[in-house]
Chain A
């Protein structure tokens, strides 16, 4: 078993990786989710070009257009194919712009939190002792801070905005990664192949980077895809609680949470369509992340 792991984790050759990539990416689910993800990303990036109206321009948006049903015509003659929200924004445009905001928030915060968490977790697991204790106590403190308190304080100190939401989400999430990485890495750390690597006098950096990281990353990928999805929902919850992105520039999450107020009165489209978009995005991220996990895990790649 020891030999198998050393072989699979540290002496992978490029051809093997290429084969694994090809094999994985040719599967229909991977293609489908990858394609969907690509499409979603395109929509988000080019939102200002493809959206029928600019939902963030207050001089254009009018409450006289509020809560139009899908297909109705707005004052300026544009047809709102997916209806309008409570402030009179065209839902289709709002979804495209909101997607942009939500993806930006989710991806940035997940990425930054992941990098910080990964570093902290690996360092803690590898060095152990005082370093481990110190870092893990910081993690404990961090995990016990409610997201809303962090968001509130940042808001008070920095003001409102997308960047602040990202900072808040990073602060809320990094510790979760750190703790998970450390839990897996600490088990890996004691395994023979790491000891073997230490005996070979490989540098700490090399051991962490080449051996500890690839073998600890699997649960992390699961977590990261989950957290990306979850951070979209945290962001919506922050809107529900009155903090988060500015009301005039709604994200997908805040569109859903604002739209929910109207569901009892029958204006289902305000919350439904952004909801569908959110689910499609999240599903794509998760399926793709799942494939990525299989791909990156040395034990699962054949």
Chain B
């Protein structure tokens, strides 16, 4: 909700009284009033700097001068480079950038415990609490207790769910665990760094002073993140209004670096509870053990995994932030229509968000996470990732002009969950070609069916689709708003069939 000018000025005065820099974005009126407030405040007592400030300055001088003036012996070169890196970060730390401070705070976070509340609001402004969960997190381990008492725990070695109503403990696969714990502080910090953002104000959230940050994914609707000024950690996330519904996640209580009781992550089924197993897999020490259990011979990268899990039909190799899943290949390999395409082991490679998927020696390999490209190259040998530097669309015989206002509106529609077919270059091509044939609209089955459209190339930003029949031979498409899996495709040209 936009603040009134009176409220805005009130927050500005509060910031200055609390010896903090006002964080609001200012229009001319607000900037003038702030200048007046600063001038009037000159009549008050100036505040001395923090006692440790002299030390801080001295530290800065020492770092700066040592970088420039002290001869560094060769043996200390690596340490020196590290110092320079620290220096750069140090400087950024004091520019007052809350996102940077958040990134640093998240990096220092060893564990946390809190109550996370999820509230929804509809377009009419009605708000209700969806649920509240208690959350413990320590590195890769986490535990979540829902309102109904159901407790889900992943201790890195085992994952289970305690269900009091049915008095059972369900063993679940440890990896991969894409859902994780939902609103994750680390993920939110990463996202805020990735997209354009700006501070829009200061607010009290759950009794804590917080900086409100507006995050604007390119072409998408902005959403908001609140950062606790005391801990520099995110405490509230509010999604954009999608499908007339907006969700707010709030840490109504939160304690960072609290030293969580290890018992929380210990697997001890309560007495009288039935243990339910549905192939939770098992951690094994060697690849040979995994092969024996899963009955498949895995393709292995040079780098050894941290852990290996074997299931009856698959092997999961865990590299921390990256996971490899290998299964027996079944049927034809069909890349997701919206994925970018590369090549691996002489065949097609699907690139989908942070996941690579391809087939090799009768095995389907999926790698998800930050180290995916390096590990995929180790397994496949030959690996070509989509190259956006090479234009796929410039050779279109007929260029199609694009109205960016319409494209932006379409993107927002899709972001809101409507017309998802615009994410599929085959569907967009089908609609375009069939509307060329019947400009009055497509009624019933389209003249040129979906099966006639094949993805020839897709580098993530541009795509070429071949058409098996009809007046068009090839369709050229671009992601004009966002060049990732959430960006819609627009037709920018085509080659007529001669």
User: Do A and B form a real pair?
Assistant: no
Chain A interfacial positions (CB closer than 8 Å to B): none
Chain B interfacial positions (CB closer than 8 Å to A): none
